[in-house]
Each structure stands twice: as structure tokens, then as C-alpha cells.
């Protein structure tokens, strides 16, 4: 295999692992934080699916929860692909992964909440009291941005 092909394959694997790791950490954080507020894991996963299915996601039981989980991982792999593409062009991100991951986590939170969710079929209006904002940003830094950055940096060593 040519060197360029190996690099592309390597980045594809890095993207997949970064997306799976961040996706797992993020969905666990979502389930825990929302369960503490009275929700259920099924409802959390259905809310992810509602971005495509709208209100009917909440009437579908485990099938729409499973659909939400698939959607969640697809989104995380896409987000990881964006991070890895940026990291390939900005070497400092591989040298300072915690900082780069924190910045990327905040950016991912902003894009998800200001662009993706409003353009989706999610059936509820979101509000951002300070505690919700702090938890959301914190989770995106600790569970998404930094793990993706650390996976990418480790793969380059």
C-alpha cells in the first residue's frame, strides 16, 4: 500500500475510533444528566431520533430509541471527521490536544445548538439557563472535543 493510501486509511480509523469514543462518552453523559432530571434512557435516545422524526420519535418505543442511538453515532463520526480534517491542516492541534479539544468542544456545542438542532425536526424549544449551558459546554469539552483530540494526537505519535 502506498504511503498516501496508508495515511488516508489511518485517518479513517482515527476518525472512526474518535467518533465511537466521543459518542459513547457523550451519550452516557446525556443519559446520566437527563436521568438525574427525571427522564429515561429511552426518552434521551428518542430525543436524538426526533431530530429526524419529529414528535413521532417519542411514540416509537425502543425502535425509535435505537434509531436515535444510530443517529447519535453517525453524528459523532461526522464531528470526528471534521476534527481530524482540521487536525491534519493545523499541526498545533496534535501538539496541544487538550486545548484544541476544548476549543473544538465549545465550537461543536455552539454549532449543534445554534444550527443543527434549530434546523432539525426536534419538536421542542430549547432554553439555556446557566446550569444547562455550563453542563452542555462541559460535556462537549470533556466527552467530545478532548477525547477526539487525544485520539488524533495519539495516532500521530
State how far the alpha carbon of 11 is from the alpha carbons of 124, 132, 133, in Å: 37, 34, 32
Cell numbers describing residue 91: 499541526
Give pLDDT, residue 38: 97
- pLDDT of 153: 95
The pLDDT tens digits along the chain (157 residues) read 455 555 555 889 999 999 999 999 999 999 999 999 999 999 999 999 999 999 999 999 999 999 999 999 999 999 999 999 999 999 999 999 999 999 999 999 999 999 999 999 999 998 999 999 999 999 999 999 999 999 999 997 6
- Put simply, whether the predicted model's pTM sits higher than 0.85 gets the answer yes
**Cα dist. 51→68, 104, 128 in Å?**
9, 22, 18
Structural domains counted in the chain? 1
Nearest 5°: phi and psi at 83? -60, -50
Q: For residue 9, what pLDDT is reported? A: 58
Range of the domain at 146: 3-156
Pick from 91, 111, 81, 72: which is nearest to 11 by CA?
81
Amino acid at each position: 500500500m502506498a504511503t498516501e493510501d496508508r495515511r488516508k486509511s489511518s485517518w479513517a480509523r482515527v476518525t472512526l475510533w474518535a467518533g465511537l469514543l466521543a459518542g459513547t462518552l457523550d451519550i452516557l453523559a446525556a443519559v446520566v444528566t437527563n436521568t438525574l432530571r427525571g427522564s429515561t434512557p429511552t426518552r434521551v435516545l428518542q430525543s436524538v431520533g426526533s431530530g429526524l422524526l419529529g414528535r413521532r420519535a417519542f411514540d416509537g418505543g425502543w425502535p425509535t430509541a435505537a434509531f436515535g442511538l444510530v443517529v447519535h453515532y453517525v453524528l459523532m463520526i461526522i464531528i470526528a471527521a471534521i476534527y481530524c480534517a482540521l487536525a491534519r491542516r493545523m499541526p498545533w492541534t496534535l501538539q496541544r490536544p487538550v486545548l484544541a479539544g476544548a476549543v473544538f468542544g465549545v465550537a461543536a456545542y455552539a454549532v449543534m445548538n445554534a444550527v443543527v438542532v434549530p434546523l432539525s425536526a426536534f419538536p421542542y424549544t430549547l432554553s439555556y439557563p446557566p446550569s444547562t449551558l455550563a453542563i452542555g459546554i462541559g460535556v462537549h469539552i470533556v466527552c467530545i472535543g478532548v477525547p477526539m483530540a487525544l485520539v488524533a494526537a495519539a495516532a500521530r505519535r
